[in-house]
Structure 1
Amino acid sequence: MFTGIVKDVGQVKAVDEGRGDLRFTIQTALDLSQIKIGASVSCDGCCLTVVDIGDDWFSVDASKETLNKTILDEWTTCSRINLEPSLTMGEELGGHLVSGHVYGVLTIKAIKREGDSHRIVFDIPEGFEHLIAPKGSIALNGISLTVNDVTDADFGVNIIPHTWMNTNMSSLQVGDEMNFEIDMLARYVARIMGKI
């Protein structure tokens, strides 16, 4: 479980192929003394298991299923990755509850500067129209964000300067893809109502 508050932007140092899986080694400024092999780390919003660890790096494996449903298959050496260790009891819940179970990818339709902030617009994927609501929560590349506005076709989020500079958002362009996770509460309500 995560909060959607990015703790570091790491960098992919190596990509190794297995039998359909990929192993990523990520350099980070996170305090790795608190992270053990087997721990979960949100990497661009994907809950991945630490399989190896060093002083300033850790490695995670991504299965074929994960590679098919996320942007991880686009990661290369030097890719910048939003990182968040798993939530521990007693920690501040600064964003919203994020599971790290990515639903798919969204393509950036527009990026507009609005004052010091940036507004990013995405098309709503088919079948998700009823799960994205104004002032609701969504996680994009592991970042907890508030949906600002929704039309029948698209939705927008506002990125404040702090988030823009302290995540990998500042390196994104129109046409780039981002992992998305719908708010957990919205998913369960939709399931109860028979919409999923």
Structure 2
Amino acid sequence: MKKISLLFGLLCFALFGANAQTFRGLDKSPMDIAYYPDDYAHDRKFAPAKIGNDKAMVRITYTRPAKNGREVFGKLVPYGKVWRAGANEAPEIKFYQDVTIGGKKIPAGNYALLTIPNENEWTIILSSDLDQWGAYSYNQSLDVARVNVPVQKSDNVLENFSIQFAKKDAKTATMYMGWDTTVVALPISL
């Protein structure tokens, strides 16, 4: 019965979306990678004509924890504390080109993605401290950038934490992070 309820919930979420942003279905592995442009690595290998001379903007590698009936934000993930934006190791975000996030120029390179969730706003943190388990050894002096983004609430429950990119225009993408009924959006531009 739980499996049927979960499948029904995921189906409803897929059909009705989260504030106009829908997250695709899950792979069996709890580890995931999201690219912008979407499926860049696959297309580069198997459909190079599809991407032409375009270069990837960003890739993120992260682990997707599950809600499993728990209250997520404010309980499992406390408000006001640094969180690794997923499970296990802190996610690693790679910018293939220099980008701008929240008015801040970010050089191409690899960064740890951390957040400070609050009820109405999240602080997104890019840190130069890679390969850290969780956020237990977080050191604010290694922050490269901090950006505040508003929280959006969804009527649909997202069972697993998910990250996905969407095209805004030729030089701008939006990184969506969602879990439970919470969604945040981070614009990234060239």
TM-score between both structures, scaled by the size of structure 1 = 0.28
TM (norm. structure 2) is 0.28
Q: Which structure's relative contact order is higher, taking Cα pairs within 8 Å and 6+ residues apart?
A: 1
